[in-house]
Structure 1
Amino acid sequence: MSVPATVNPQVIDVINQVQSATMSPQVVLTSGAGKAYQSVAQSAAIAVQDATDTLRNLSTIATTAAGVAIAQFIATGEPKYAAALEQAKGLLKTASEDFSDIGTAASNVLKNFPSG
């Protein structure tokens, strides 16, 4: 039979210290909380990016509608085109308010989420 090899006690000590430093309940808890915080932060950022895209798209639609309404109002003088211009303006105002609300909500969620 072969004689079992002995392991240097310093090697065993290093392994125990590394295990303690990386696998202790507090380290695991803090690491998990940090990952959860990063996930929530990324979700909040995506929500703001989506709101930005929506604002940009609605701005394009409102600007186009306003341009058509102005051209038709100048050409015909009919007040319905002035009303359409006001609706386009209202659309942009509402979209801006929605963007602000989403940004504020995302910020509040992130501020109130425990970071670990």
Structure 2
Amino acid sequence: MDNINAQVIDSINQVQLATMAPQVVTTSGAGKAYQSVAQSTAIAVQDSADALRNLSTIATTAIGVAMSQLLATKDAKYVDVIAAAQQVMTQANVEFGQVGATAASVIKGYPPG
């Protein structure tokens, strides 16, 4: 240790003090926690969008098939199928909005660090 320049040792000590100070560690940890929460909420919104897209595909297909059968048979029961598929889409859109609003609320209420 005798052959190490005192300025090098002082620089190392100052860097350690600056990076390991309680306030720096707390702020850094809070920032990492915020990023984790933000990523989790983004994934929740993305999953909800995927579910909405999948339900839309299913509902659109059901409506197409029901419309085809309605035109071919004139049977009014297919009107109920169309209405049910439309209701599925309406509810899916409501739930997507709720997920987005909840995610935004979580992020707004979480301290960024």
Tell me the TM-score range normalised by the shorter chain: over 0.9
How far apart, CA to CA, are the structure 2 residues paired with 1:76 and 1:95? 30
Alignment of 1:34-45 (within 5 A): 34-45=31-42
1:31 and 2:28 are equivalent in the alignment:
yes
- How many residues get paired? 113
Residue by residue, what CA displacement relative to the aligned partner does 1:8-55 show, whole Å, maximum 9, x if unpaired? 221121011100111000000001000100100010011011001100
Extract structure 1 runs of 4+ deviating beyond 3 A. none
Secondary structure (helix, strand or coil) at the match of 1:82 reads: helix
How does the TM-score come out when normalised to structure 2?
0.95
CA RMSD of aligned residues (A): 1.0
- Structure 2, unaligned stretches of length 5 or more? none
Structure number, greater radius of gyration? 1
Residue by residue, what CA displacement relative to the aligned partner does 1:43-97 show, whole Å, maximum 9, x if unpaired? 0011011001100000000000000110111111111101110111111111111
Aligned-pair identity (%): 58
2:50 counterpart residue number = 53
- Structure 1, unaligned stretches of length 5 or more? none
